Amino acid sequence: MKNPRIKPLTRKSLSGVWSALILPWTAKDTLDAKRFAKEIRDYAGTGISGVYTGGTTGEFYAQDDATFIKVTEIACREAHAIGLPVQIGVSALSTLTVIQRIKAAKKFKPDAYQIALPFWLELKDDEVKRFVTEVAAAAGKTPIVLYVTGRSKRKIAPKLMGELVRAVPTFIGTKDTGLDTAGLKAILKAAPDLAIFGGEDFYTRLPAGGKGGYCSVTGFNAPKIVELYNLCAAGRLEEAKPLADAVHNFLYGALVPMVKKPGLWDSAIDRIQRVAGGGDVGLRCQSPYLSGTEADVKRVIAWCRKHTPELLPAHLQR
């Protein structure tokens, strides 16, 4: 039974800090169920608004059907046990596969499904409408959140976004970390009640009408990211500015450079910062993608100590 403290997600209620869940792998590249359950429970009391699976951080592309079902079962059970709603990522290369994953996930009662546009071939506008409509129909009353990512090869113009919102009542929000303030305002003009999320950029996004963030830096220090969100949501921007600058500097000083050298993808970088933050998720990504190293973890911690010590999690302040 779902925790009664968890309220239904709607366009109005969807807000706050949502943390990406990382999958701990065994030496045989199978899900380590015990460590994954603990990873979720470790977010209890941090103040985050919810958790989500899939995406690049959760290596959705590396999950076969059995792994997906196990991830979904554990995520729903453990998140609900600590009073957190959970969005289950069901992104795939076809509408059929997305719907199959929704059907497999339903019995675990997720609070929403997170989807991205099928990305092998760039979708035309009418194909976007067809995809979102058919997926929403399969999801029934459970809402959907659309991850608008450059990896889907296209953006969604404000006009089309407005049409989707009017046609699909259960389409409640988006994640779009590449959306600037002007773009956010343009979409809200076409779809005023849509819950638009970015990443940790609350300082600029919330005053423009954004509702929250799907975050990875929560893996390093969730309470600090929640603190930043709360300050920005309360309109205390002058007070929030130093912390917002620190988070920005950490992202672009300690983490993003690892994309260029040693050539790591988001999934590896998110593991590095989560391990640095005390998480027991391991550093190894599924093949063929490169993984980070213990040296990378030490570099991130050292960088943070020198440049943004206010972001150090409690266990690194001892």
Joined together, the tokens standing for residue 233 give: 């949501």
- Count of other CB atoms within 10 angstroms of residue 291: 17
d(CA 49, CA 67): 25
Phi, psi of 254 (to 5 degrees): -100, -35
Give, for all 318 residues of the chain, the pLDDT tens digit: 567 789 999 999 999 999 999 999 999 999 999 999 999 999 999 999 999 999 999 999 999 999 999 999 999 999 999 999 999 999 999 999 999 999 999 999 999 999 999 999 999 999 999 999 999 999 999 999 999 998 889 999 999 999 999 999 999 999 998 899 999 999 999 999 999 999 999 999 999 999 999 999 999 999 999 999 999 999 999 999 999 999 999 999 999 999 987 899 999 999 999 999 999 999 999 999 999 999 999 999 999 999 999 999 999 997
Distance of CA 306 to the CA centre of its chain: 28
Cα gap 226→302, rounded to integer Å:
23
Domains parsed from the chain with CATH numbers: 16-223 (3.20.20.70)
Residue 125, classified by CB atoms within 10 Å of its CB into exposed (0-12), middle (13-18) or buried (19+), is middle
